[in-house]
Every structure is written in structure tokens, then in C-alpha cells.
């Protein structure tokens, strides 16, 4: 993900545990913006911070590792 890229998580409950996971595994690397906050649908836009993109270890935050974190947080 580039510094201007983002993706959305849509869920039937607040995906707060996923945010905690991102904060632990990738501190200060992603933005988290609630677009819709229930009660039926929760929609969050997750983006990459410019600082994280500029980091020399940015390969650790590849789409593959983010997808893996998302799968693990959802229990899949």
C-alpha cells in the first residue's frame, strides 16, 4: 500500500479488536477512520501513514501481511 492508499473493512460489529492488532503489530503505520458506526453496519477506512511508507522496513507492511492480520483477527 502506498501512502495515499486505503481499504475498507465492513462488518456487522465494531472491528475494534482488529485495530488493537494493527496497533500492536504495526504501531503508527496505519490510520483508522470510522465511516459508519452501526448499529447494523460498521465501515472503517484503513490507510497507511506517510511515515510508515517512508520507513526502510516498509516491506513488513505488505498487502500480504495486512491481509494475514485481517484473516487472523476475524478468526479465519
pLDDT in tens, 22-75: 889 888 888 999 999 999 999 999 998 877 767 655 555 555 555 555 555 555
pLDDT of residue 55: 67
pTM, rounded to two decimals: 0.66
What is the residue extent of each domain of the chain?
A: 6-71
* Contacts for 17 with CB less than 8 Å, ≥ 6 apart: 73
DSSP-derived letter for residue 58 is G
Amino acid at each position: 500500500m502506498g501512502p495515499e492508499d486505503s481499504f475498507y473493512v465492513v462488518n456487522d460489529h465494531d472491528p475494534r479488536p482488529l485495530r488493537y492488532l494493527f496497533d500492536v503489530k504495526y504501531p503508527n503505520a496505519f490510520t483508522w477512520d470510522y465511516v459508519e458506526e452501526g448499529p447494523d453496519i460498521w465501515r472503517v477506512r484503513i490507510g497507511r501513514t506517510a511515515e510508515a511508507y517512508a520507513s526502510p522496513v516498509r516491506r513488513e507492511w505488505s498487502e500480504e501481511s495486512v491481509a494475514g492480520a485481517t484473516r487472523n483477527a476475524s478468526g479465519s
